Amino acid sequence: MTHPEWENEIAAYLLGSLEESESGAFEAHLQECAQCRAEYERLRVASDSLSLAAEQYAAPPAIGERVMSIVRSEAELLQAATADQPTNGPKRRWRRPGWFGGTPALAVGALATALVVAGLAIAGAFSGANGSRTIAAQVTVPGASAALRVQDGRGQLIVAHMAQPPAGRIYEVWLQRPGQAPQPTTALFGVTHSGGADVVVPGTLKGVQRVLVTDEPLGGSLKPTRTPVIVVPA
């Protein structure tokens, strides 16, 4: 694409009318072209103003209550998950025999990797006013934390400061019942730029001993192929 053609993309990009692939290519060009960046900043003043052009209303009060209820609940969960997390404490040994009851070969490798776990977070559980129970997770990723909120037998996993899964992989949630191998769920997730995720654990937690998270190839696996990065004693 010639420079004048790129320049013609600027307004379309600012108005959000480029296709996703075109936006990506334009952003890459913008990184390299000071002339386009200057023009982009000049026109951005106008495109930004459009967001304020609408007839002004107050947001319906119910939406504020809904949003703040979720935010406060997540803030509590994160506080609970990070409360007892050692910042520079000694590394702990972490033994979880029976994670992979049905797959002994994998269990050997998993235990070998899991014997020394950096930044392991161990916290307790607490009950919320609405009958929910919050259980802090054990997380192997340094600096990360997670908690499982259980209400009416259903679980919601809140993750914070978690590293992105390795390239070409995705986090997968597993449910493990006593004496059984972890069962896959349909919950596959990545994390936001800041390492956050809010994942509904599919199905009921009745009879579930642990909720696990591993990183798996995109599309998920039927059996865990890696050591869990998150373990919650459900």
Contacts to other proteins by CB under 8 A: 7-12, 14-19, 42-43, 45-60, 62-64, 66-68, 70-72, 74-75, 78-79, 160, 192-194, 196, 198
Nearer of residues 192 and 204 to other proteins, judged by Cβ: 192
Instruction: Write phi, then psi, for 137 (nearest 5 degrees).
Output: -95, 160
Smallest distance from the beta carbon of 15 to other proteins, in angstroms?
4
Report in angstroms the alpha-carbon separations of 197 from 88, 171, 225.
24, 10, 22
Smallest distance from the beta carbon of 198 to other proteins, in angstroms?
7
Nearer of residues 18 and 106 to other proteins, judged by Cβ: 18
Smallest distance from the beta carbon of 12 to other proteins, in angstroms?
5
Nearer of residues 27 and 48 to other proteins, judged by Cβ: 48
**Following DSSP, what letter does each residue of 41-101 receive, concatenated?**
HHHHHHHHHHTT-SPP-PPPHHHHHHHHHHHHHHHHHHHHHHHT--SS---EE---TTTTT
Nearer of residues 7 and 223 to other proteins, judged by Cβ: 7
Nearer of residues 8 and 35 to other proteins, judged by Cβ: 8
Smallest distance from the beta carbon of 169 to other proteins, in angstroms?
21
Smallest distance from the beta carbon of 219 to other proteins, in angstroms?
23
Cβ(134)–Cβ(148) below 8 Å = yes
Smallest distance from the beta carbon of 75 to other proteins, in angstroms?
4
Nearer of residues 66 and 95 to other proteins, judged by Cβ: 66
